[in-house]
């Protein structure tokens, strides 16, 4: 069962997906990513300012998804590679975000590995390419 | 068109490579004179490469001052869709900039570059961004496909003092049907496969453009530090360069085919990026492009102020790679 996201809904989050635009809470100055209705730091701020994130961070955790475990939107990629890596990255600005890891190093992935965001095809549905970010080793 | 040039450049070479030996082992031969070539991963296309190259080029530039964006490729992911919008969003550019798309032949890169120079006159902003990204593709495992690679490069253009000032251009066009063409909705790049005819088209067209620009600027081959050829066929490039009076030394620095493959309309401009890293003092560069069918554009540049250092160097991008097997390559192309 895949996580279908309609094209209009995807479109609404383009600045976050294409160029990692974060939201800075006007109250506590905490940086939120992905967007939140209420600040995840002070738990009360609802006013935000867009801030560009560097795209640099460290691997906080990771897992490898075997081909059979891939949701339908990633099944083609999983079939081609055999498996793919998903990382939890702690960005320089603080937020922790989940993403795929492009070009995983042949000598293995480690906690604390420096990574940076890259622009990639995430999946294709109804012949519409969904672009977004993945991370790659620095 | 004068008084403009390149103030910054960036490029992107995919991480995955396939070596010539893989073709030899799988098919018993390789028609391309390469050591290895860069190939797209399954989650890459010319747009993802374009974004990475453009980010690299525009790293030290105020993006709010970019007033024009041109995009070139022979292999866009959609046959119909406005694609500059993807780059506008990914790069955080103004939605009000002027845009232009170029495709249809390997000449698209040169056409895009010239269009960016022209659009610079029509915008109030300081910069134009030319992005040339290509990954020619054919489902047929024969001939031309062996050399097909992938890469992207991007140039920030501006008026006034530039790292590489544009000096002049000349073009040559004529009808040569049957050479490197792809019918609508056909996944195979075709060619009638008559080397003498192909060679005649190439020599007549490129020589015409090169002679034209040399004559226009009152130059001879000896005035140039670098000659960058189209690089779809290295032997043809070398033979023509020699015939025109250029030396192997002038060709050496801008030749990228052996390491990257034939990146379509991007290849000569990737060669230009490579030479820019080593450019110093008053040096001149001649860039020749060729689109089968056939047309050629030759452009002359003169180096000036040093280029700002990019995020990566050409050699570091070339060195960051993973070699794949021919079987894996076919899986990436969705043939297996």
Give me the mean pLDDT over the B154-171 stretch: 94
d(CA B158, CA B4): 6
The pLDDT value recorded for residue A21 is 96
Inter-chain contacts counted by CB atoms under 8 A, chains A and B: 54
Answer whether B316's CB lies under 8 Å from B327's CB: no
* Best mutation target, A55, A131, A135, A138, to test chain B (most B CBs within 10 A): A131
DSSP character for B250?
H
Q: Given pLDDT bands bounded at 50, 70 and 90, which one contains residue A4? A: confident
ipTM above 0.90, yes or no: yes
Query: What's the whole-model pTM score?
Result: 0.96
Could you tell me where the beta strands, DSSP code E, fall in B117-210?
A: 127-134, 151-159, 164-173
| Percent of chain B whose predicted confidence (pLDDT) is above 90 | 85
d(CA A17, CA A133): 6
The pLDDT value recorded for residue A8 is 92
Of residues B44, B78, B331, nearest to A120 (C-beta): B44
Mean pLDDT of chain A: 93
Q: Given pLDDT bands bounded at 50, 70 and 90, which one contains residue B250? A: very high
State the nearest Cα–Cα gap between B129 and chain A, in angstroms: 18
* Calculated CA dihedral for residues A90, A77, A20, B57, nearest 10 degrees: 110
Question: What digits encode the pLDDT tens for the residues B75-132?
Answer: 999 999 999 999 999 999 999 999 999 999 999 999 999 999 999 999 999 999 999 9
- Please tell me which residue of chain B has the smallest CA distance to A16: B90
Of residues B42, B77, B322, nearest to A129 (C-beta): B77
d(CA B199, CA B239): 10
The pLDDT value recorded for residue B162 is 86
| Cβ separation B89–A77 shorter than 8 A | no
Token duo for residue B140: 């047929």
Token duo for residue B54: 């453009």
Q: Given pLDDT bands bounded at 50, 70 and 90, which one contains residue A1? A: very low
Q: Given pLDDT bands bounded at 50, 70 and 90, which one contains residue B1? A: very low
Give me the mean pLDDT over the B283-295 stretch: 97
Question: What digits encode the pLDDT tens for the residues A43-90?
Answer: 999 999 999 999 999 999 999 998 888 888 888 888 888 899 999 999
- 3-class SS of residue B167: strand
- Please tell me which residue of chain B has the smallest CA distance to A132: B90
Radius of gyration of chain A (CA): 16
Environment class of residue B281 by beta-carbon count within 10 Å: exposed (0-12), middle (13-18) or buried (19+)? exposed
A117 beta partners: A135
Instruction: Single out the residue of B296, B290, B303 nearest to residue B226, CA to CA.
Output: B303
Q: Given pLDDT bands bounded at 50, 70 and 90, which one contains residue B310? A: low
Instruction: Single out the residue of B288, B57, B62, A89 nearest to residue B71, CA to CA.
Output: B57
- Containing H/E element for A75? helix A75-81
φ, ψ dihedrals at B169, nearest 5°: -145, 150
Token duo for residue B208: 């015409």
State the nearest Cα–Cα gap between A79 and chain B, in angstroms: 9
Q: Does A12 touch chain B (CB under 8 A)?
A: no
Chain B residues close to A81, C-beta within 8 Å? 42
Q: Within 13 Å, how many C-alpha atoms sit on residue B128's CB side? A: 26
Question: What digits encode the pLDDT tens for the residues B180-228?
Answer: 999 988 888 899 989 999 999 999 999 999 999 999 999 999 999 999 9
Is the backbone of residue B169 left (phi > 0), alpha (psi -120 to 50) or beta? Answer: beta
State the nearest Cα–Cα gap between B320 and chain A, in angstroms: 10
Is the backbone of residue B14 left (phi > 0), alpha (psi -120 to 50) or beta? Answer: beta
């Amino acid at each position: 069962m895949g996580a279908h996201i309609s094209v209009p809904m995807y479109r609404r989050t383009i600045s976050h997906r294409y160029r990692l635009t974060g939201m800075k809470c006007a109250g506590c100055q905490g940086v939120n990513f992905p967007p939140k209705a209420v600040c995840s730091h002070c738990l009360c701020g609802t006013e935000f300012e867009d801030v560009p994130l560097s795209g640099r961070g460290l691997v906080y955790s990771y897992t490898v998804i075997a081909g059979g475990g891939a949701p339908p939107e990633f099944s083609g990629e999983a079939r081609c590679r055999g498996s793919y890596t998903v990382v939890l990255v702690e960005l320089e600005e603080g937020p922790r975000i989940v993403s795929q890891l492009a070009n995983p190093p042949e000598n293995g992935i480690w906690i604390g590995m420096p990574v940076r965001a890259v622009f990639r095809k995430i999946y294709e549905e109804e012949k519409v390419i969904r672009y977004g970010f993945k991370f790659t080793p620095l | 068109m004068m008084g403009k040039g390149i103030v910054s450049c960036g490029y992107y070479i995919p991480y995955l490579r396939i070596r010539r030996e893989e073709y030899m082992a799988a098919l018993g031969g390789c028609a391309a004179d390469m050591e290895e070539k860069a190939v797209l991963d399954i989650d890459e296309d010319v747009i993802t490469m374009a974004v990475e190259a453009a980010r690299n080029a525009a790293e030290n530039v105020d993006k709010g001052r970019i007033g024009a964006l041109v995009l070139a490729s022979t292999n866009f992911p959609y046959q119909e869709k406005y694609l500059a919008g993807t780059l506008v969003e990914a790069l955080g550019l103004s939605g009000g900039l002027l845009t232009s798309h170029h495709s249809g032949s390997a000449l698209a890169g040169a056409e895009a570059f010239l269009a960016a120079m022209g659009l610079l006159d029509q915008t109030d902003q300081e910069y134009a961004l030319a992005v040339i990204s290509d990954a020619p593709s054919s489902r047929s495992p024969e001939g031309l496909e062996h050399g097909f690679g992938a890469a992207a490069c991007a140039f920030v253009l501006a008026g006034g003092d530039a790292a590489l000032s544009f000096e002049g251009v000349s073009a040559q066009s004529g009808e040569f049907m049957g050479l490197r063409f792809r019918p609508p909705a056909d996944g195979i790049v075709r060619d009638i496969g008559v080397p003498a005819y192909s060679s005649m088209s190439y020599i007549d067209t490129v020589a015409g453009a090169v002679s034209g620009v040399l004559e226009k600027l009152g130059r001879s081959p000896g005035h140039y530090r670098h000659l960058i050829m189209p690089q779809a066929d290295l032997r043809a490039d070398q033979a023509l360069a020699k015939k025109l009076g250029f030396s192997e030394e002038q060709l050496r620095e801008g030749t990228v085919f052996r390491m990257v493959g034939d990146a379509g309309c991007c290849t000569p401009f990737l060669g230009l990026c490579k030479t820019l890293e080593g450019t110093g003092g008053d040096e001149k560069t001649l860039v020749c492009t060729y689109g089968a069918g056939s047309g050629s554009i030759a452009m002359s540049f003169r180096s000036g102020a040093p280029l700002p250092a990019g995020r990566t160097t050409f050699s570091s991008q070339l060195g960051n790679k993973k070699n794949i097997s021919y079987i894996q390559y076919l899986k990436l192309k969705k043939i297996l």
